[in-house]
Amino acid sequence: MTQKEINDLLERPQPTCASMLDIPRCESPHLAAIADALEHAKAEHPKFAQRLFLFGRLEDCSDYLHSFRRELEHEKRTNSTCAKTILTCEALEAEEAFMQGDYKHTLEKLAQCGAVIVRMMEAVHALADEAAKAGKGAKE
């Protein structure tokens, strides 16, 4: 896919969140927040981006991904796994798949990025709830 074809795809009207996230909002306040943010972003910034990903060469992306995978393995061994490292690995795996022309796998990896973000939101929400119960008055 050429850069022009990608740009044309990015400029097409996108489906609304309601059709993309066919999940009742009461089931996940985090998905609802993402849906709201997406609607706002589309209204505020109708042209999304000039490029989907950073790397121009597959080798550079693969090298960077390899270093993050090593970091993630180290974090696992030391019981200090960081959500941002997981998210970065998933995003780099999506980029690598995209550069290889595997759009199905790219979408699967981007969905994994979304799942990691929702889990991060759940963790922050739980911390906010704990802080509120402890009387620390944390903002939600």
Q: Is there a single domain that holds both residue 87 and residue 116?
A: yes
Range of the domain at 12: 1-52
Cβ within 8 Å of residue 8, ≥6 positions away: none
- If one compares 32 and 117, the residue with the highest pLDDT of the two is 117
> Quick one: pLDDT at residue 13?
54
Q: Is there a single domain that holds both residue 44 and residue 87?
A: no
> Quick one: pLDDT at residue 46?
85
Q: Is there a single domain that holds both residue 44 and residue 11?
A: yes
15: part of which helix (H) or strand (E)?
Answer: none
pTM of the model: 0.73
Say which residue the tokens 């979408």 belong to: 107
Q: Is there a single domain that holds both residue 98 and residue 123?
A: yes
Count of domains for the chain: 2
> Quick one: pLDDT at residue 15?
47
